[in-house]
Amino acid sequence: MIDSLKDKVIGVPMGGLSAEREVSMKSGRAVASALKNLGYNIREIDLTADSIKELLAVEIDVAFVALHGRFGEDGAIQGMLELLRIPYTGSSHSASAVAMNKLLSKQVMVFEGIMVTPFEALHIDEFKNSGVASLTLQLPLVVKPVNEGSSIGVSIVRCNDELFKGLEVAFEFDTTVLVEKFIKAREIQVGILNDKALGVIEIIPKNEFYDFDAKYSAEKAEHVFPAKLPEHIYNEAMELGLKAHRALGCSGGTRTDLLLGESNEMYVLEVNSLPGMTELSLLPEIAGGVGIEFPRLCEEILRSAKLNIKSAVR
Protein backbone atom coordinates (compact mmCIF):
# COMPACT_ATOMS: atom_id res chain seq x y z
CA MET A 1 0.00 0.00 0.00
CA ILE A 2 2.88 2.38 0.75
CA ASP A 3 4.20 2.46 -2.82
CA SER A 4 0.78 3.09 -4.32
CA LEU A 5 -0.59 5.71 -1.91
CA LYS A 6 -0.34 8.48 -4.50
CA ASP A 7 -2.78 6.50 -6.62
CA LYS A 8 -5.27 6.42 -3.73
CA VAL A 9 -7.81 8.94 -2.51
CA ILE A 10 -6.68 10.18 0.91
CA GLY A 11 -9.48 11.52 3.06
CA VAL A 12 -8.63 14.00 5.82
CA PRO A 13 -11.48 14.08 8.38
CA MET A 14 -11.29 17.31 10.39
CA GLY A 15 -13.47 19.60 12.48
CA GLY A 16 -15.77 17.21 14.28
CA LEU A 17 -18.13 17.80 17.17
CA SER A 18 -15.80 18.36 20.13
CA ALA A 19 -14.76 21.53 21.90
CA GLU A 20 -11.54 21.30 19.88
CA ARG A 21 -13.27 21.68 16.51
CA GLU A 22 -11.45 24.84 15.44
CA VAL A 23 -8.06 23.43 16.38
CA SER A 24 -8.89 20.30 14.39
CA MET A 25 -9.77 22.40 11.34
CA LYS A 26 -6.35 24.04 11.50
CA SER A 27 -4.63 20.67 11.87
CA GLY A 28 -6.59 19.15 9.00
CA ARG A 29 -6.01 22.03 6.60
CA ALA A 30 -2.29 22.04 7.36
CA VAL A 31 -2.02 18.28 6.77
CA ALA A 32 -4.13 18.41 3.61
CA SER A 33 -2.04 21.25 2.16
CA ALA A 34 1.25 19.51 2.93
CA LEU A 35 0.15 16.22 1.36
CA LYS A 36 -1.33 17.94 -1.70
CA ASN A 37 2.00 19.63 -2.29
CA LEU A 38 3.66 16.21 -2.19
CA GLY A 39 1.39 14.98 -4.96
CA TYR A 40 -1.24 13.07 -2.97
CA ASN A 41 -4.89 13.02 -4.01
CA ILE A 42 -6.52 14.65 -0.99
CA ARG A 43 -10.17 15.00 -0.09
CA GLU A 44 -10.86 17.28 2.88
CA ILE A 45 -13.81 16.12 4.98
CA ASP A 46 -15.32 18.66 7.40
CA LEU A 47 -17.26 16.55 9.89
CA THR A 48 -20.25 18.23 11.49
CA ALA A 49 -23.36 16.84 13.15
CA ASP A 50 -25.08 16.93 9.76
CA SER A 51 -22.21 15.55 7.69
CA ILE A 52 -21.01 12.53 9.67
CA LYS A 53 -23.42 10.27 7.78
CA GLU A 54 -21.90 11.55 4.55
CA LEU A 55 -18.62 9.89 5.49
CA LEU A 56 -20.33 6.59 4.76
CA ALA A 57 -20.77 7.67 1.16
CA VAL A 58 -17.38 9.35 0.64
CA GLU A 59 -15.15 7.31 -1.65
CA ILE A 60 -11.76 7.33 0.06
CA ASP A 61 -9.10 4.65 0.25
CA VAL A 62 -7.20 5.84 3.34
CA ALA A 63 -8.08 8.28 6.14
CA PHE A 64 -5.58 10.68 7.69
CA VAL A 65 -7.44 11.43 10.93
CA ALA A 66 -6.95 15.07 11.90
CA LEU A 67 -9.67 15.17 14.55
CA HIS A 68 -9.18 16.08 18.21
CA GLY A 69 -11.30 15.48 21.28
CA ARG A 70 -14.50 13.48 21.54
CA PHE A 71 -15.77 11.47 18.58
CA GLY A 72 -12.40 11.91 16.88
CA GLU A 73 -9.68 11.06 19.35
CA ASP A 74 -11.65 8.68 21.54
CA GLY A 75 -11.97 5.71 19.20
CA ALA A 76 -15.39 6.60 17.75
CA ILE A 77 -14.24 7.54 14.24
CA GLN A 78 -11.62 4.79 14.34
CA GLY A 79 -14.27 2.17 15.01
CA MET A 80 -16.40 3.46 12.14
CA LEU A 81 -13.45 3.39 9.75
CA GLU A 82 -12.72 -0.18 10.78
CA LEU A 83 -16.31 -1.17 10.01
CA LEU A 84 -15.94 0.49 6.60
CA ARG A 85 -12.63 -1.34 6.03
CA ILE A 86 -10.81 1.96 5.51
CA PRO A 87 -7.19 2.05 6.75
CA TYR A 88 -6.49 5.08 8.93
CA THR A 89 -3.67 6.88 10.69
CA GLY A 90 -3.06 6.86 14.40
CA SER A 91 -3.96 4.40 17.12
CA SER A 92 -6.59 1.66 17.09
CA HIS A 93 -10.09 2.38 18.37
CA SER A 94 -9.33 0.66 21.69
CA ALA A 95 -6.00 2.42 22.28
CA SER A 96 -7.58 5.74 21.30
CA ALA A 97 -10.41 5.24 23.76
CA VAL A 98 -8.08 4.43 26.65
CA ALA A 99 -5.64 7.25 25.86
CA MET A 100 -8.47 9.78 25.68
CA ASN A 101 -9.89 8.72 29.03
CA LYS A 102 -7.58 10.28 31.61
CA LEU A 103 -8.79 7.99 34.38
CA LEU A 104 -8.43 4.73 32.45
CA SER A 105 -5.06 5.71 31.03
CA LYS A 106 -3.72 6.51 34.50
CA GLN A 107 -4.98 3.19 35.80
CA VAL A 108 -3.20 1.37 32.96
CA MET A 109 0.03 3.26 33.61
CA VAL A 110 -0.11 2.49 37.33
CA PHE A 111 -0.52 -1.19 36.43
CA GLU A 112 2.54 -0.89 34.14
CA GLY A 113 4.63 0.66 36.92
CA ILE A 114 4.68 4.14 35.38
CA MET A 115 4.60 6.98 37.90
CA VAL A 116 1.66 9.37 37.64
CA THR A 117 0.51 12.19 39.86
CA PRO A 118 -1.70 11.02 42.77
CA PHE A 119 -5.31 11.12 41.59
CA GLU A 120 -8.94 10.44 42.44
CA ALA A 121 -12.13 10.49 40.40
CA LEU A 122 -15.46 12.09 41.23
CA HIS A 123 -18.76 11.39 39.43
CA ILE A 124 -21.31 14.15 39.05
CA ASP A 125 -23.99 12.20 40.97
CA GLU A 126 -21.62 11.74 43.89
CA PHE A 127 -20.80 15.46 43.78
CA LYS A 128 -24.47 16.40 43.81
CA ASN A 129 -25.23 14.09 46.73
CA SER A 130 -22.13 14.45 48.92
CA GLY A 131 -20.04 17.30 47.56
CA VAL A 132 -16.33 16.58 47.95
CA ALA A 133 -16.67 14.35 51.01
CA SER A 134 -15.09 11.37 49.24
CA LEU A 135 -11.94 13.23 48.20
CA THR A 136 -8.86 12.57 50.32
CA LEU A 137 -6.17 14.47 48.41
CA GLN A 138 -5.03 17.69 50.03
CA LEU A 139 -5.02 21.09 48.33
CA PRO A 140 -3.66 22.39 46.00
CA LEU A 141 -5.22 20.22 43.31
CA VAL A 142 -5.72 20.09 39.56
CA VAL A 143 -9.29 19.46 38.40
CA LYS A 144 -10.02 18.28 34.85
CA PRO A 145 -12.73 16.51 32.85
CA VAL A 146 -11.87 12.87 32.19
CA ASN A 147 -12.56 13.02 28.44
CA GLU A 148 -11.40 16.40 27.13
CA GLY A 149 -8.15 17.61 25.59
CA SER A 150 -6.26 20.88 25.10
CA SER A 151 -6.64 21.65 28.82
CA ILE A 152 -10.33 22.41 28.30
CA GLY A 153 -12.16 22.66 31.62
CA VAL A 154 -8.93 22.38 33.65
CA SER A 155 -8.39 24.38 36.85
CA ILE A 156 -5.71 24.64 39.51
CA VAL A 157 -7.43 25.08 42.87
CA ARG A 158 -5.93 26.14 46.20
CA CYS A 159 -8.95 26.53 48.47
CA ASN A 160 -12.36 24.91 48.91
CA ASP A 161 -14.22 27.70 47.12
CA GLU A 162 -11.94 27.29 44.10
CA LEU A 163 -12.35 23.51 44.31
CA PHE A 164 -16.15 23.71 44.08
CA LYS A 165 -15.94 26.21 41.23
CA GLY A 166 -13.36 24.10 39.39
CA LEU A 167 -15.51 21.00 39.73
CA GLU A 168 -18.56 22.83 38.43
CA VAL A 169 -16.59 23.98 35.38
CA ALA A 170 -15.19 20.50 34.72
CA PHE A 171 -18.64 18.90 35.07
CA GLU A 172 -19.85 21.12 32.22
CA PHE A 173 -17.72 18.93 29.94
CA ASP A 174 -18.02 15.46 31.48
CA THR A 175 -19.91 13.41 34.04
CA THR A 176 -16.66 12.22 35.64
CA VAL A 177 -13.86 14.52 36.79
CA LEU A 178 -10.27 13.69 37.59
CA VAL A 179 -8.74 15.35 40.64
CA GLU A 180 -4.93 15.27 40.79
CA LYS A 181 -2.38 16.44 43.32
CA PHE A 182 -0.81 19.67 42.07
CA ILE A 183 2.95 19.26 41.77
CA LYS A 184 5.30 22.15 41.15
CA ALA A 185 7.21 20.97 38.11
CA ARG A 186 8.55 21.73 34.66
CA GLU A 187 6.32 20.76 31.75
CA ILE A 188 8.06 18.62 29.15
CA GLN A 189 6.70 16.67 26.21
CA VAL A 190 8.08 13.76 24.20
CA GLY A 191 7.26 13.46 20.50
CA ILE A 192 6.89 9.93 19.17
CA LEU A 193 6.71 8.80 15.55
CA ASN A 194 6.12 5.20 14.55
CA ASP A 195 7.25 3.77 17.89
CA LYS A 196 10.38 5.92 18.13
CA ALA A 197 10.93 8.80 20.55
CA LEU A 198 12.07 11.84 18.56
CA GLY A 199 12.97 14.35 21.26
CA VAL A 200 11.93 16.30 24.33
CA ILE A 201 10.58 19.85 24.32
CA GLU A 202 9.99 22.05 27.36
CA ILE A 203 7.07 24.45 27.58
CA ILE A 204 7.41 27.49 29.81
CA PRO A 205 3.90 28.99 30.04
CA LYS A 206 3.40 32.62 30.98
CA ASN A 207 0.15 31.63 32.68
CA GLU A 208 0.03 29.33 35.69
CA PHE A 209 0.09 26.25 33.48
CA TYR A 210 0.01 25.25 29.82
CA ASP A 211 -3.67 26.06 29.31
CA PHE A 212 -5.75 26.35 26.13
CA ASP A 213 -4.66 29.95 25.45
CA ALA A 214 -0.99 29.08 25.86
CA LYS A 215 -1.32 26.12 23.48
CA TYR A 216 -2.77 28.19 20.67
CA SER A 217 -1.30 31.69 21.22
CA ALA A 218 2.37 32.12 20.36
CA GLU A 219 2.93 34.86 22.92
CA LYS A 220 1.53 32.86 25.86
CA ALA A 221 4.31 30.25 26.20
CA GLU A 222 7.99 29.74 25.42
CA HIS A 223 9.00 26.54 23.62
CA VAL A 224 12.53 25.22 24.25
CA PHE A 225 13.79 22.46 21.97
CA PRO A 226 15.71 20.46 22.75
CA ALA A 227 14.74 20.81 26.40
CA LYS A 228 17.67 22.02 28.48
CA LEU A 229 18.11 18.95 30.62
CA PRO A 230 21.11 16.87 31.71
CA GLU A 231 21.71 14.15 29.14
CA HIS A 232 20.65 11.32 31.43
CA ILE A 233 17.43 13.12 32.38
CA TYR A 234 16.70 13.85 28.71
CA ASN A 235 17.21 10.20 27.82
CA GLU A 236 15.09 9.08 30.75
CA ALA A 237 12.26 11.33 29.56
CA MET A 238 12.54 9.84 26.06
CA GLU A 239 12.32 6.32 27.46
CA LEU A 240 9.41 7.15 29.75
CA GLY A 241 7.47 8.89 26.99
CA LEU A 242 7.83 5.87 24.74
CA LYS A 243 7.00 3.46 27.55
CA ALA A 244 3.71 5.27 28.22
CA HIS A 245 2.91 5.31 24.49
CA ARG A 246 3.46 1.56 24.32
CA ALA A 247 1.60 0.84 27.56
CA LEU A 248 -1.57 2.30 26.04
CA GLY A 249 -1.02 0.49 22.75
CA CYS A 250 -0.70 3.70 20.72
CA SER A 251 0.77 3.97 17.23
CA GLY A 252 1.58 6.56 14.55
CA GLY A 253 2.45 10.06 15.72
CA THR A 254 1.78 10.75 19.40
CA ARG A 255 2.96 13.01 22.20
CA THR A 256 3.51 12.10 25.84
CA ASP A 257 3.16 14.92 28.38
CA LEU A 258 5.36 14.72 31.47
CA LEU A 259 5.99 16.69 34.63
CA LEU A 260 9.60 16.99 35.79
CA GLY A 261 9.69 17.58 39.53
CA GLU A 262 12.18 19.60 41.55
CA SER A 263 14.15 16.45 42.38
CA ASN A 264 14.08 15.31 38.73
CA GLU A 265 11.31 12.80 39.40
CA MET A 266 9.03 12.32 36.39
CA TYR A 267 5.29 11.87 36.22
CA VAL A 268 3.32 10.99 33.10
CA LEU A 269 0.30 13.24 32.64
CA GLU A 270 -1.15 11.73 29.48
CA VAL A 271 -0.48 10.39 26.00
CA ASN A 272 -2.05 12.36 23.16
CA SER A 273 -2.96 9.80 20.52
CA LEU A 274 -3.80 12.49 17.91
CA PRO A 275 -1.66 15.51 18.79
CA GLY A 276 -2.17 18.83 17.08
CA MET A 277 -0.70 19.46 13.65
CA THR A 278 -0.92 23.27 13.60
CA GLU A 279 1.90 25.78 13.30
CA LEU A 280 2.11 25.97 17.10
CA SER A 281 1.76 22.24 17.74
CA LEU A 282 4.50 20.41 19.58
CA LEU A 283 4.88 17.18 17.61
CA PRO A 284 5.66 19.07 14.37
CA GLU A 285 8.05 21.33 16.27
CA ILE A 286 9.89 18.38 17.82
CA ALA A 287 10.03 16.59 14.48
CA GLY A 288 11.31 19.71 12.75
CA GLY A 289 13.98 20.04 15.41
CA VAL A 290 15.39 16.63 14.46
CA GLY A 291 15.24 17.28 10.72
CA ILE A 292 11.78 15.97 9.86
CA GLU A 293 10.03 18.88 8.17
CA PHE A 294 6.25 19.13 8.33
CA PRO A 295 5.44 17.62 4.89
CA ARG A 296 7.67 14.62 5.58
CA LEU A 297 6.11 14.21 9.05
CA CYS A 298 2.65 14.12 7.46
CA GLU A 299 3.85 11.62 4.88
CA GLU A 300 5.44 9.36 7.49
CA ILE A 301 2.22 9.37 9.52
CA LEU A 302 0.19 8.67 6.37
CA ARG A 303 2.43 5.76 5.44
CA SER A 304 1.78 4.22 8.84
CA ALA A 305 -1.97 4.06 8.13
CA LYS A 306 -3.45 0.64 8.67
CA LEU A 307 -6.66 -1.21 9.24
CA ASN A 308 -6.58 -2.41 12.84
CA ILE A 309 -8.33 -5.68 12.10
CA LYS A 310 -7.58 -8.58 9.78
CA SER A 311 -8.16 -8.26 6.02
CA ALA A 312 -6.46 -4.86 5.71
CA VAL A 313 -6.81 -4.86 1.92
CA ARG A 314 -9.76 -2.80 0.77
pLDDT of 159 > 70? The answer is yes
Q: For residues 34 and 38, what is the distance between their CA atoms, to the nearest angstrom?
A: 7
Residue 264: inside a domain, yes or no? Answer: yes
Domain assignment of residue 77, yes or no: yes
CATH code of the domain in which 169 resides: 3.30.1490.20
**Residue 237 belongs to a domain:** yes
Where residue 238 sits, what CATH number does that domain have?
3.30.470.20
Beta carbons of 58 and 73 less than 8 angstroms apart: no
Distance of CA 278 to the CA centre of its chain: 13
In a domain, 18, yes or no: yes
Q: What pTM, to 2 d.p., does this model score? A: 0.89
Question: Does any domain span residue 304?
Answer: no
d(CA 90, CA 163): 35
**Cβ pair 108, 248 in contact under 8 A:** yes
Residues 104, 244 share a domain: yes
Range of the domain at 150: 119-181
With a CB cutoff of 8 Å and minimum separation 6, the contacts of 40 are 5, 6, 10, 302
Return the percentage of the chain with pLDDT > 70, whole number.
89
Contact 102, 178 (CB under 8 A): yes
Report if residue 303 sits inside a domain: no
* pLDDT tens for each residue of 26-84: 999 999 999 999 999 999 999 886 666 666 667 899 999 999 988 889 999 999 899 88
Segment 238-288, tens digit of pLDDT:
999 999 999 999 999 999 999 999 999 999 999 999 999 987 799 999 999
Q: What is the three-class DSSP state of 264? A: coil
User: Do 175 and 135 have their domain in common?
Assistant: yes
Amino acid 153: pLDDT: 85
The residues, any chain, with a CB within 8 Å of residue 250's CB and separated by 6 or more, are: 91, 95, 99, 192, 271, 273
Residue 221 shares a structural domain with residue 287: yes
> Per residue in 168-194, pLDDT tens?
999 998 999 999 999 999 999 999 999
Phi then psi for 144, rounded to 5 degrees?
-150, 150
Residues 218 and 231 in one domain: yes
Query: For position 165, what pLDDT does the model report?
Result: 95
The count of domains in the chain is 3
Residues 41 and 109 in one domain: no
For the residues 90-116, what does the mean pLDDT come to?
Answer: 96
Residues tagged active-site: 20, 150, 216, 255, 257, 270, 272, 276
